[in-house]
């Protein structure tokens, strides 16, 4: 093969490889912000703390309960829940107004996963401002079912 053909082949491979790497750099469901702030993650329309202790301190100072969302990057039900529920304007408003939000990645945060006894994802846990569990929901919830649970907690 002459040098012009090699250069052409290398350029094509570079372009193809660049596209593959770019596609993998974000979440495959498109629901995680590429701009991760230290200690926070964006899931659709909501900003979650990723560390429990600072979130507990915020909860105490603001007198709000916590919403802890346990998820995995590879969980299909998590991606569906995030795509449907964390884009719902009513859910976003209720969570932002009434709770301190925490997201736990069960693959990377093993201590929290053990402490909360998380066996499957998604798991939604509501804690009072002192960190005592109010309610734990296992699995995917529809918007209305999830809103009903939120409304019971914030009465």
Smallest Cα–Cα separation from 129: which of 48, 60, 50, 52?
60
Residue 29: the pLDDT is 44
pTM for this predicted structure: 0.75
Model pLDDT for residues 135-154, shown as the tens digit of each residue: 999 999 999 999 999 999 98
Residue 14 has pLDDT above 60, yes or no: no
State both tokens at 101: 């939000």
Model pLDDT for residues 20-59, shown as the tens digit of each residue: 333 333 443 444 443 345 688 888 889 999 999 999 999 9
Higher pLDDT, 83 or 15: 83
d(CA 67, CA 74): 21
CA distances to 14, 48, 59, 122 from 68, in Å: 42, 9, 12, 10
d(CA 79, CA 30): 9
d(CA 100, CA 51): 11
State both tokens at 116: 């909360």
Which residues have C-beta within 8 Å of that of residue 62, sequence separation ≥ 6? 100, 129
Model pLDDT for residues 98-125, shown as the tens digit of each residue: 999 999 999 999 999 999 999 999 999 9
Residue 24: the pLDDT is 37
The whole-chain average pLDDT of the chain stands at 83
d(CA 90, CA 72): 24
Q: Which residues of 32-64 are buried (b: 16+ CB within 10 A; e: fewer)?
A: beeeeeeebbbbbbbebbbebeebbebbeeeeb
Higher pLDDT, 11 or 13: 11
């Amino acid at each position: 093969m002459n040098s012009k053909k090699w250069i052409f082949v290398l350029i094509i491979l570079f372009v193809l490889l660049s596209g593959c790497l770019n596609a993998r750099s974000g979440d495959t469901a498109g629901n995680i912000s590429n701009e991760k702030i230290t200690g926070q993650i964006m899931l659709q329309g909501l900003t979650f703390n990723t560390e429990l202790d600072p979130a507990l301190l915020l909860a105490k100072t603001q007198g709000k309960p916590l919403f802890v969302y346990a998820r995995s990057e590879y969980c299909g039900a998590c991606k569906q829940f995030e795509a449907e529920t964390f884009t719902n304007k009513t859910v976003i408003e209720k969570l932002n107004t009434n709770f301190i939000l925490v997201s736990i990645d069960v693959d990377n945060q093993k201590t929290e996963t053990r402490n909360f006894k998380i066996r499957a994802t998604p798991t939604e846990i509501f804690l009072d401002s002192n960190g005592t569990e109010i309610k734990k929901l296992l699995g995917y919830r529809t918007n209305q079912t999830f809103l009903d649970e939120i409304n019971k907690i914030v009465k």
